[in-house]
Every structure is written in C-alpha cells, then in structure tokens.
Chains A and B, each alone.
Chain A
Amino acid sequence: MPDTIPDRSVLLDHVTIRFGTYTAVDNANLKINSGEFFSFLGPSGCGKTTMLRCISGFSEPTEGRVLIGGKDMAGVGPNKRPTALIFQHLALFPLMTVAENIAFPLEVRGVSKKERRKKADELLEMIALPGIGDKKPGELSGGQKQRVAIARALAVEPDILLLDEPLSALDLKLRQHMRTELRAIQKQVGVTFIYITHDQGEALTMSDRVAVMSRGVIEQVGEPDRIYNRPRSAFVASFVGENNALQGVIKGQSGETAALETPMGTFEARVGGGRKYKAGDEALLFVRPEQLIPGATENAFQATLARQEFEGATNHVFAKAGENELRISMVNAGLAGSLPGQGESLSLGFAPMNGTILPVGHMASET
C-alpha cells in the first residue's frame, strides 16, 4: 500500500439515468467519503440497483459524471474500476470450488496458482471459514455463501465495495449476525462500503450515513439519527420508522417553529428542512408514536382509545382523534404500570421539538 491513504471516495455529480423515457435515477448529487459505510435506502423499484450498476461501470449515466477517487469514470469498464460488486443473488461461480471462486480475480490477473491458493486461504481465514476451500458453492449454507462472496470481492482489493441487498435472502437471526460481521469486516479492511437495502433497520444500524431514495430521487442524505429525527420530506418521515401524519394549514411561522391548524386543534411544531411558510400554506405534521405522551401538557388534545397490540416490551396503542387514527408506542411498565382500557378517553400531547412540519408530498405507502 502506498504511504498516502488512497482516495476511496465516490462523487456522483448530477447523475441521471434513463431507460428510454423512464427516469430511473434523477439528478443524484452526493459525495461518499473515503472509508465510509454508506447506505442507499429505498423501497423496491426506486432505482437503487440502477445506481449501483452505474457506479460499478455496467451502465453509463445518461447525464452527469461518476468520479471514483477523484477520477472521472466515463468510458472505464467494470473490470477496470477499483470497485467490487456483491450481487443481489451473489453470483458465485457454481462450477468452481470456493477457493477458485475467491481466487478468480487473481487468476484473471495472471497470479500463479500457488499464490492464489495462499491468498484464498488467507481470505477464508478472515471470513472465519477456514478449510472449506475445496467445496463447491452448492454445498454451502446461505450465510457461508454470503461470506464467500464477500471474500471474493475483497480479493480484488477494491477501493469501493458495493453490496446490493446481500442479506435479503437470509433469515432474521443470520441477517442480524451478518450485519455485525459486515460492519466488523469494513472496519478491518478500511474500504468504502456502499450498501443497498430496502430494510431500514439494516441501513440505520450499520451505516455512517444513509441516502433515502424514492422514485429515482435522493430525498435526503445524512447520519441515521438525523434521518430519523430530522426528516426533510414527507416521504422520509413516513418511510423511515413509524410516524403519525396530520394535515393542516399554517397559521404562522416564527423562526424554527410554526403553528399548524388541524381539525384536532392548532399545534406548535419544529419546521423541517429549514423551510419558510406563509400563513395559509398546506402542510403536514409528523409525530413519532413514541413521542406522543399521555398526559403531556404541551400540544395537548383528546383522543379515544380504539385498540391495542401487545408486543412484549412495547405496547402499540391506536387512538382515534376526529378523523385520524394515531399510533402511540408505550413502554411496558410491567405489572406496576396500568394500561388504559378500550373506549377510554385519553389526553395526549408532544413537545414542539418532537413534531415536524413538512410540505405536502407523496408518502411511503403511495410508492
């Protein structure tokens, strides 16, 4: 490795990708930093794979540029880019052994057989699967295949590792285990990871930063907690985590907060995305279920308890207030606590900083 730390950044410079008249990625403009674990999060069909294939060189952007390590990648084929892609279905070579699979990148670079085997064994050691080099991929379990695919991609010694929903085929327990493992491998090799998923849990727990995509548009880029706590669009607010949405009309704005008049009353809340509203503008108010507090005095309103779903640690309570059904998460206080009964009236409220006012836009369920 050279003395200077290699530049492993990716810059998407106003990238648009079209298939005929259909725009699969619309004006993506962002920088992924060297050594970062970066996720693209979005519902199925929002253009995540298209974006990844463009970064790895299988397609060229219709407009804009892709820069890797500061170099423009226009006209550079996938075999010449410092990237390695882990496919949605892994694409291990079924006719080769595991060791041959892992050493394939070395084979095509003309490395000797002995050295290839040595490197394959090293990588198998790293993914904690020593001694399976002579098996065929067909003889491995899902999680093992997963790790072999990662080892094979790392054999390229890429600057950027691209992962296309690699965990989606695994069961829940294994998925959780592999999350930790992936994160550990990333820390160990220091390579930039670009990770694609439609599973927000995955994106939030593993990533340094997340880009939320919808209908080909990058809606928001940021750290997981910012994505969750400070959504900048109705889509992000509704797609990441659970949220209650109330429609209303702006009465007035003063700095960071504004007053929104809804059928349930007027509420004070933080303005999302630093926007400016005039009185009379239509807007949406989002409040998280765990931030609606029974008995709170700020932004208080009355609701009737409609039904509840018991889920161990938390209790999901659904309350009707006017036309709206609101979702409230309550921590299970055990036998010492008491839960409200069906049909009971309930006073709810939330801190103004915990409500977010956002412009009207499409929501997650509508995608």
Chain B
Amino acid sequence: MNRNTIFGGAYALAFFSFLFGPLIIMALTAFNSSRFPRVAPWECFTTNWFGELFGNARLMEGLMNSVIIGLGVVALAVPIGLAGALALSELPSKLRSTLYTVLILPILIPGVVLGISTIVLWGQISRGIGAGFLYNGYFLTIVGQITFVSAYAMLVFIARLQRFDATQTEAALDLGATPGQAFRKILLPFMAPAIGSAAFITLLASFENYNTTVFTVLSESTFTTALASKVRHGTDPSLSALAVIIITLTLIGALTNEAFQRRKEAEAGGRASRSPLYANPITRALTHPGVVFAILVAVIGGITYAGSQYDSSQCEAAILQEKLDRQEALRAEQRARIEAQEAEQGVTVPKPDSAFGGAFGGVGTSAPAAPAPKVENNSAFGGAFGGIAPPQTEE
C-alpha cells in the first residue's frame, strides 16, 4: 500500500463522515430516551419519540396543510412550467432569451420578497374585487410558491425538450394527426419522465419552502413553518424521529428508482450486457422494481410494528431512579459539607435545595416521559441561542 492510497482512503472516510455523519448521529438520537437529542450518554433504547412526533397536533396539522398546498402547487406549476418550456422552444431566438430571463427571474428574487409581494398584491386584489375568500393562507401560499416553483419545472422540461426531435411532431401532422393529437400522442409520452421528475421536484420545493411560505401562509401553518417555530422553542428527539422517517422514505424511493432504472437499462441493452440475475426467473422477479418496493415496505412496516410494541418504561424508570439516587447523594454530600461549615463557623445558610435550584432554574422538575433532572429550555442561556439548547451537564 502506498501513501497515496492511504491518503485517498483517509480523505474518502473524512468526506463521507462529513456528509453522512450528522445524519447518522441524528438518526441514533431518535432512539435515545434522553430528553435532549444526543447519543452519549446513552440512556435507554426507546421508540417513544415517534409517538411524541405524531402526537404533536400543530406539526400534524401543518403536515396536512403542506400536503394540500404541495398538491395544489404540483397541479398548477407543472402545466405552467411545461407551457413555458414549449413557448420557449417555439419562439424565435431573440424573443426566447428575453422570455427566458423573465421566467427565470423568480428563482433569483429572494423568497421573502416574493412572499411579501404576494400578500400585498392579493390583499389589494381581494379588497379591490371584494373577494375576501381569496385572502387565505392556502391560496396565497399556492400562488406565492408557484411564481418560482414553476420555473424549476420549466428548467426540467427545457432540458428534456432539447432532446426532442421536432420532425416527430411534423411526421404526426403529416400522417393526419391534429395538432392536439400530435401533442398528446407524441410529445406528451416523450415528456412523461420529465413530467414525473418535475412533479417530484415541485412537490419537494413546495414542501420545504420556508421563506415565502412563512409570509403567505398567514395564520395557518405548514409543516415547515410549524417545525421552525417548534425548533425556536427548543429541540427534542421527536425531530430526530422525523429525520429518520424522511431518510427512510428517501431510501425506499431511491432504491426502487434504482431497481427501475437498472431494469430499464438491461431491457434496452442487448442480452450480453444483462447481469445473470435476469436469466433466472426467481432472481428476475426479485429484482423487479415493484417487488423491491414491496419488500422494502414490508421490512419497514415490520420494524415499525415491532418498534411500536417495544416498551422502554422499565429502563427509563431505572434510569430515573438512578438519577434521583445520584441527586440524593449529591444533596446529602452538600448537606454534609454545609453542616461541617456550620459547625466550623456557626453561621446559618438558606436551605441548600433552593440555592442549587435557583442557580440553574429549577433542578428536579420532573416530566412524566423522562423525568430526568434537566434545565428548562426557556432559560436565558437557551433563549440567547435561538432555542437550540446546548448539551447540559446537569449530572
């Protein structure tokens, strides 16, 4: 082994830990019963954070809203993007670059500006035409997001359209198709994969958008805005649980897609290029994307069920007891020290319990789920850092 490979290996390791380290740590914290997301010290394996996540009414309502808004955005942004891309491909080149700039502009404008201008504009419109029902969070968020999300969709379509052979449409017309038939039977099937990707990208862009949405959503909240306000009040491992769910869904999607792509490639290529997996009927069936998807879903479903049955209360009770014991020991120690001091100086001091508690803002306040001694997150220190409470050293 020479120096280069050692260096290369170390570099790759560092690179991948940098990429995936945070994700792995975060995923682990979702299963630690500690009230604050952390891996060490490991307290108890628990699945309660998932329950806590689904029990959060504000987040779940936000999720519902996000889905509604996301579907609305996809339904409008994808056709708008497609229309824009088609218009661009038909125009003479001078007009094209002008229109391109206009259509792309919303991506370059800060989301905050888009959000504020959306509410200002639609506020005016709804008051002007007396249609107050237009001034609601769902509608405003959908129109606000469409302004830039449809530009993403358009970029996807432009890339695909560049590979379209325009004589295909001409051939269809020449063979007697109406322009509408040529569009439906020739261009749309060609664009189908791009429509899929555009729908996916627009859904994600809508779902994860914060800057614009936080203004346009008015008094409602989407998943992202609800999450942001939750984080502002301090984080807990239920967010890690959310991360685990998102990572899992992404992995299922990615693996299924990979299986699909490989199969398509193998079917497009000659027999020689196929892996032997495709020769055997059993392995051939197993590598079918549908089967891959079903297996993944079944495995995840099984794990989820097993997890939901798991009860960590005994372990947590033990940990709690341990902590209480330790706290008791500390107090006893302190009391002993004070008594010794008293005996020496003959001075009376206040009760040790309140002095200790006052300094840290209430040691020993016990929550039912994990009644470990802890520091409240709305303390001055936590607040200064925007709610991300630093790891406490209360033991």
Which residues in A have some Cβ–Cβ distance to B below 8 Å? 56-58, 77-79, 83-85, 87, 89, 91, 93, 95, 104-105, 107-109, 138, 152-153, 155-156
Q: A57–B170 Cα gap in the complex (Å)?
A: 10
Q: Is B392 an interface residue (CB 8 A)?
A: no
Instruction: Report if A77-B173 is in contact (Cβ < 8 Å); known contacts: A87-B167, A95-B189, A108-B181.
Output: yes
**A75→B189 CA distance, assembly (Å):** 29
1/0 per residue B141-171: CB within 8 Å of A? 0000000000000000000000001011011
Known: A91-B165, A95-B189, A95-B190. A105 touches B171 (CB 8 A): no
Evaluate contact between A108 and B167: CB separation under 8 angstroms. Answer: no
Docked pose: A79 CA to B177 CA in angstroms: 6
List of A residues within 8 angstroms of B176 by Cβ = 79, 105, 108-109, 156
Does B172 make an interface contact (CB < 8 A)?
Answer: yes
Contact with A93, one of B168, B174, B181 (Cβ below 8 angstroms): B168
Q: How many residues belonging to B are interface residues under a CB distance threshold of 8 Å?
A: 18
CB contact between A78 and one of B165, B173, B185, B190 (< 8 Å): that residue: B173
Cβ–Cβ < 8 Å partners of A57 in chain B: 174
With A89-B165, A109-B176 already in contact, 18 other A-B pairs whose C-beta atoms are closer than 8 Å: A57-B174, A58-B170, A77-B173, A78-B170, A79-B173, A79-B178, A84-B174, A85-B170, A91-B165, A93-B168, A93-B171, A104-B172, A104-B185, A105-B176, A108-B177, A108-B178, A108-B185, A156-B176
What residues on B are CB-neighbors of A79 within 8 Å? 173-178
Interface: B186 (CB within 8 A): yes
Smallest CB–CB gap between A88 and chain B, Å?
8
Contact residues in B for A108 (Cβ distance below 8 Å): 172, 175-178, 181, 185
Contact B175 A105 (CB under 8 A): yes
Q: Which residue of B lies closest to A53 (CB)?
A: B170
What are 27 contact pairs spanning A and B, CB under 8 A? A58-B173, A58-B174, A78-B170, A79-B173, A79-B175, A79-B176, A79-B178, A83-B174, A87-B170, A91-B165, A93-B171, A93-B172, A93-B186, A104-B172, A104-B177, A104-B185, A105-B175, A105-B176, A108-B172, A108-B175, A108-B176, A108-B177, A108-B178, A109-B176, A152-B175, A155-B175, A156-B176
Which residues in A have their C-beta under 8 angstroms from that of B189? 95
CA gap between A89 and B168 in the complex, in Å = 10
Whole-angstrom distance from the CB of B165 to the nearest CB of chain A?
A: 7
Inter-chain contacts of B178 with A (CB < 8 A) = 79, 108
Bound-state CA distance A78–B179 (Å) is: 10
**What CA separation (Å) do A78 and B170 show in the bound complex?**
8
Query: A83: nearest residue on chain B (CB-CB)?
Result: B174
Tally the A-B contacts, defined by beta carbons under 8 Å.
58
Residues of B that sit less than 8 Å from A by CB: 165, 167-168, 170-178, 181, 185-186, 189-190, 268
Q: Which residues of B contact A93 (CB under 8 A)?
A: 168, 171-172, 186
Distance A109 CA – B170 CA, assembled complex (angstroms): 17
CA distance A89 to B171 in the complex (A): 11
Least Cβ–Cβ distance between A253 and chain B, in angstroms: 50
Return chain A residues, CB-CB under 8 Å to B174: 56-58, 78-79, 83-85
10 smallest beta-carbon distances between A and B, as pairs: A91-B171, A108-B177, A105-B175, A91-B167, A85-B174, A78-B173, A78-B174, A79-B173, A108-B181, A79-B176
A140 CB → nearest B CB, Å: 14
| Residue ID in chain A nearest B186 by CB atoms | A93
Residue numbers in B under 8 Å from A107 (CB-CB): 185
Do B170 and A91 have beta carbons less than 8 Å apart?
A: yes
Residues of A contacting B181 in the complex (Cβ-Cβ under 8 angstroms)? 108
> Is the CB–CB distance between B175 and A156 below 8 Å?
yes
Cα A79 to Cα B172 in complex, Å, equals 8
Decide yes or no: A87 and B171 within 8 Å by CB, A93-B186, A108-B185 being known contacts: yes
Bound complex: CA of A8 vs CA of B174, how far in Å?
Answer: 17
Q: How far is the CA of A93 from the CA of B168 in the complex (A)?
A: 7
Report the Cα distance A152→B175, complex, angstroms: 8
Chain A residue at minimum C-beta to C-beta distance from B169: A91
Q: How far is the CA of A95 from the CA of B185 in the complex (A)?
A: 10
* A136 to chain B: closest residue by CB: B268
Q: How long is the Cα–Cα vector from A79 to B165 in the complex, in angstroms?
A: 19
Known interface pairs A108-B181, A108-B185. Does A84 touch B170 (Cβ–Cβ under 8 Å)? Answer: no
